[in-house]
Structure 1
Amino acid sequence: MKKTMLALITAITVMGTLVGCRAGGQETPASTTETTTAAPTVSVAGEADRKGEIHYVSMWNETEPQAEVIKAAAEEFTTMYPEVKINIDWMGRDTLKTIKASLDAGQVDIWDQGINTVIAQYNDYGYEMSELYAAPSDLLGGKSYNDVANPVLIKSVEQFAADGKSHGVPYQPNIVAVFYNKDLFAQAGITGEPQTWTELMDVCQKLKDAGITAFSFDDGYIILPFAMYLGRLKGADFNKALVSDATGTTWDDPAVKQTAEAMQEMWDKGYVSKNAASNKYPAGQNEVAMGEAAMYLVGSYMLNEVREITGDEFNWGTFSFPSPEGAVMPTTANSIGMNIMQIAKTCKDPQLAFDFITLLTTGKYDTMMSKQCNAIPNTVDTPWPAVLAPAKPVLDSTTENVAYSFYINSNSNFTPIYKEQAQKLLGGQIKADEFIANCKAAVMGK
């Protein structure tokens, strides 16, 4: 155990444990940080009401930049409120191995993970936060969390929940869209962003005529084009039914054939990288980063992943995946991913836990998280990192949050087969009818 004095008043005690956790394919030790203080340095109205302990199980490893921000916020919170102790277990990506047992035992106050896990699978474990969101807070200068938060993100959490309520606080969001090289668009004489599938095909043709490869794909995100076209055309629930229908009859729907033929047409007309069938992640996005292709369909995190290639001067543009004619889902329906901080129902002091989350996810710590991690901010007043700014119009215009891949990956047994077939289809190795037949057989277990 070691104790570090900060400004002669703040003590941080860090204790290592023997629990292993994985981050980025490497084994790293989980650890526990206990944050306490000897005396306050800041006087804030209402501080006398803040006392107690918070047990936070974090999805981050202690050495990651997100953890540095969280530790700084915890340190300030306990400095402001010396009767508060925050214990943080840095569990890394192995959080899910133990979180259910810990929640069932009432041993967790706050925990975090991706929205598809927290809200889709653990929503019933979470404290309902609508009243906390709406109440004025001295930490926000008398404003409520609703007043400062990005409403698109709050609404996204509610849309994911089965009961339509808020059971978590979003942070570090990302959005799936088409990211493109504006300079290549200009070189091909393209002045606007496509809103429909027909317009997108026109853009692809102009790029081809200018000697530019329109789209690059790789196995990392190859599941998206077919899934998002069909999802826009028929609705995300159709995709969910498609991959779970053991009879295979859903694959006979004309919309499936239309979608598969649209994917085949992209290859047949020369709009897709010649390497699409063999590209392994991150080869596809790297082709765009190196100027060898114009567009890539992916989450906004890609802009960080290729930053070493592009630098900060790359002229990125972004648009929502276009809708085909007759679509039931508009381009304002998009997939916004995010991490969620959930307060457990068994938390003894939900207000105290929410107050800490408020400090962490707004103001200077929202800015710090955004800058250090190149993350989309949580609040409306926090500036976006320049590298992510191209995604802002798409996120701001989103009115409905749809599950990643519009649920095409909701059958884990089928997804690997679908992924392989989608890459063959978009890579020109099979035709639309063969793609449909192979996927149908796989869903039926043949």
Structure 2
Amino acid sequence: MKTRIRNGLTGAALAVALVTASIAQAGTLTANIAFKGAGQRAVWEQTFDAFHKAHPDIDVKVSYVDEEAFKVQLPGWLTTAPPDILNWHNGERMAYYAKRGLFDDLTADWTKNNWNSMYASTKESSSYNGKQYAAPTVYYSWGMFYRKDLFDKAGISAEPKTWPEFLDACKKLKAAGITPVAVAGRDAWTLAGWFDYLDLRINGNAFHQKLMAGEVPYTDPRVKKVYTTWKDLIDNKVFIDNSLSYDLDAVQPFLFQGKAAMMLMGTFITAGFPADIKPKMGYFQFPIIDAKVPTAEDGPVEALNIPSKAKNKADAHTFLAFVETPEISAQLATGLGSLPANSKSPEPEDPISKIGFQILSQTRGGIAQFYDRDMTKEMADEGMKGMQQFVSDPTKLDEILAQLEATRKRIYKK
């Protein structure tokens, strides 16, 4: 198989390489793949090799591009010389290009290849205006990590499944001299995880997505209820002191050293757990606040897309049909350090990943893409800045919401 590896090229050299890669002849499939680290690139190479072996008549030319450079180059590729296949994110980031006519409609692929069943939990995030523009590959779960030994020490007999059980667990931990929850507020996106889950549990994913789309005022009582529920946790000293002083790397020792018992985070973090700590860690679904609200989760989805200006769409569709299977999804997930988006894939062997996989594959209330993937970047940045202001001084809640509402009106003109 002929492949072109374009790792580490920047500027004019990268542009020339990618234009060259995008000039497809009959029987040649071109792809631009974003990757981070040797392991991610290796699993994509393995996948394209397997595809060529299954379809020896199709030549494959792949450009592997560092993830950050990929983000910068993507708009130019889509409008000038796109490849036949590329990988990207679901949610607003996908819809941004779909609404501009730069991604191909894959609805027929979803029907033909039984993706509606195998990828049911990620269909919503793959859709724009009722049509599907993405083929999901992997995602990762968000939930509550906790120290099992600290729960035992505090007399907590079971993982909390409801909000009253969670609040009772926090009370017992404080009584035992243990801070209930570590949060890295210096990284604003970690606060966004708390906003997402409180909103999903209180108001549901349908409301959450309207808010993310700028269709709901930030002064709406339902938005304020999310923040007042959050404020109760702050007032009751559920979180570590001075959380805005810690980024994710700095806050994890609170868990490792037994100073804090829980942390809301994505399953991608498990790779950094020390060997002596990992057996002590457990993971559970964010507790249910209102049983009448369909249970939704944060599960950021990675996907494959066919640019609307691609030259060889026939082979691109053949590639998607090859990749979107339980076996390939599982292989990609292992190599990418994520979970298979295909609900028919074998469950991961890692205990925490297995729980995350079960949570997401069984979710029926929808899967959100995470705060800054579900809305426009400018609004997300302002929203997360507001969260940091709120955590710094919760008494300024009304002022912060009014400020966010003014920003919403300016950005969305609604």
Sort the TM-score into its range (normalised by shorter chain).
0.7 to 0.9
Letter aligned with residue 226 of structure 2 = T
Aligned pair count reads 395
Match of 2:198 in 1: 229
Q: Render the CA deviation track for 1:408-429: whole Å, top value 9, x for unaligned.
A: 9736445445434534544xx4
Q: Please, what is the CA RMSD of the aligned residues?
A: 3.8
Quote how far apart the aligned CAs of 1:438 are.
3.0
Whole-angstrom distance in 1 between the partners of 2:208 and 2:310: 37
Inter-partner Cα distance in structure 1 for 2:224 and 2:77:
47
- Deviation track 1:225-258 (CA, whole Å, cap 9, x = no partner) reads 2343234333456567768989xx9454444444
- For residue 347 of structure 1, report the CA deviation from its aligned partner: 4.0
Larger relative strand fraction? 1
Judged with a 3 Å threshold, the aligned counterparts in structure 2 of structure 1 residues 210 and 163 are, in CA distance, closer, same or farther, namely same
2:31 equivalent in structure 1: 56
TM-score w.r.t. length of structure 1: 0.74
Instruction: Give the C-alpha shift of residue 68 in structure 1.
Output: 0.8
Bigger radius of gyration among the two: 1
**Residues 418 and 439 in structure 1, CA contact (< 8 A), matched pair in contact too:** no
- Greater relative contact order, per chain length (Cα 8 Å cut-off, separation 6+): 2
SS at match of 1:56: strand
Give identity over the alignment, percent.
19
What is the match of residue 88 of structure 2?
Answer: 113
Q: Report the AA paired with residue 232 of structure 1.
A: R
In the alignment, what sits opposite 1:393? Answer: 358
Report if aligned partners of 2:142, 2:264 keep a CA contact under 8 Å in 1: yes
- Are 2:10 and 1:19 aligned? yes
Moved more, 271-280 or 342-351: 342-351
What are the equivalent positions in structure 2 for 1:21-420 lying under 5 Å apart? 52-60=27-35, 64-93=38-67, 94-105=69-80, 107-116=82-91, 119-123=94-98, 124-135=101-112, 144=113, 146=115, 151=118, 153-219=119-185, 220=187, 221-235=190-204, 250-304=217-271, 306-308=272-274, 312-323=278-289, 325=290, 329-330=293-294, 332-360=295-323, 362=325, 365-379=328-342, 380-386=344-350, 387-405=352-370, 410=375, 412-413=377-378, 415-416=380-381, 418-420=383-385
Cα 1:265–1:164 change in 2 (3 A) is same
What per-residue deviation string (whole Å, max 9, x for no partner) do you get for residues 331-362 of structure 1? x2112211110123344554532333444454
Q: Quick one: structure 1 residues 310 and 166, their matched pair in 2 at CA, closer, same or farther if it must change by over 3 Å?
A: farther
1:437 equivalent to 2:394? Answer no
Large movers: runs of 4+ above 6 Å = 28-32, 240-246
Deviations 1:153-192 (A, max 9, x none): 4442345412333322111211222222233223323233
- Structure with the bigger percentage of helix: 2
Opposite residue 264 of structure 1, the aligned amino acid is: K
The answer to whether the 8 Å contact 1:243/1:408 transfers is: no
C-alpha contact (below 8 Å) 1:320/1:394 kept by paired residues: no
Where does structure 2 lack aligned partners over 5 or more consecutive residues?
A: none
User: What are structure 1's unaligned runs of at least 5 residues?
Assistant: 1-9, 22-27, 36-50, 136-143
How many angstroms apart in 2 are the aligned matches of 1:279 and 1:367? Answer: 34
Partner of 1:40: none
Counterparts in 2 of 1:375 and 1:316: CA distance versus 1, 3 Å: same
Inter-partner Cα distance in structure 2 for 1:443 and 1:13:
48
Give the Cα separation in 2 of the matches to 1:196 and 1:58.
41
For the residue of structure 1 that corresponds to 2:260, the secondary structure is: coil
Distance in 2 (CA, whole Å) between partners of 1:300 and 1:395 is 12
**What TM-score comes out, normalization by structure 2 length?**
0.79
Q: Given that residues 211 and 217 in structure 2 are in contact (C-alpha distance below 8 angstroms), is that contact kept between their aligned partners in structure 1?
A: yes
